[in-house]
Structure 1
């Protein structure tokens, strides 16, 4: 009897502890999102741009760089790096949504963060400075490629 109780309790714990993501079966959420995107696309068809960030290699590399960005000993630099990451994420979201004004706003924020990070680099040792420089160059290169591809389609 104790053995059955134990295995029953163990089975219940295992089943309840497994994390599963429930699918959203509500028809409203996906239809509202697609209608909103369609309305945005129709409203801004002339001033918008078309880029699929899910298939864009540069956007994928930016996302990868955001997730692997190293931490440094300088707290002010780490805070500015977090601001840069946030701006990059917003930039990618604006690209995905086709939001021209949001994209331009986040580009300005990116430039500010980039300049602040450049000023804070002088407080790093050579190795950390080289790592930070490598990340910043790759980020700037990918953003430039995306902007060039957008501007060439206009």
Structure 2
């Protein structure tokens, strides 16, 4: 009795574990799945999102400096960075170049205006600019 029960159990186990999967012979579906989900593309996309979100967070927390010229250029820098991030998301190369160029122009203007700030505000501004520049350069290197 135990032998028949054990044989039935093994037979049932083999029957359920040896199920056949439907084979798809279409070359189109193989190419689609291979191209869409390559690990390197997913890694690059994750890095892009990470750098974009870091820049966005820095933009949203950027302080005011009580200097009209500096605040104006900071607002222009923030706008050009926001547009740069949007152009990367939309994969528009022409706009990426335009907004990156604008970012560089405003960055240089802010660097020149830093001398009119007191040392504490200059240090805060420098900290933000270094973090922004680092993330923008990393973002540019992977795109």
TM-score (norm. length: structure 2): 0.67
The answer for the alignment partner of 2:28 in structure 1 is: none
**Which of these two proteins has the greater Rg computed from alpha carbons?**
2
TM-score, reference length from structure 1: 0.62
Show the counterpart of 2:125. Answer: 132
Q: Which of the pair is proportionally richer in helix?
A: 2
**CA 1:118–1:55 in structure 2 vs 1: closer, same or farther (change >3 Å)?**
closer
Alignment of 1:31-70 (within 5 A): 52=45, 56-70=49-63
Q: Secondary structure at the match of 2:56?
A: helix
CA shift digits 1:77-133 (9 cap, x unpaired):
000000000000000000000000000000000000000000000000010000000
Structure 2 counterpart of 1:81: 74
Count of residue pairs the alignment pairs up: 100
* Aligned 8 A contact 1:81 1:113 in 2: yes
Q: How large is the Cα RMSD of the aligned pairs? A: 1.5
Q: Give the secondary-structure state (helix, strand or coil) at the position aligned to 1:56.
A: helix
Alignment pair present for 1:144 and 2:133: no
Q: 1:103 to 1:110 in 2, by over 3 A?
A: same
2:92 corresponding residue in structure 1: 99
Aligned to 2:102: 109
- Tell whether the 8 Å contact from 1:61 to 1:142 is kept in structure 2 after alignment: yes
Gaps of 5+ in 1: 1-50
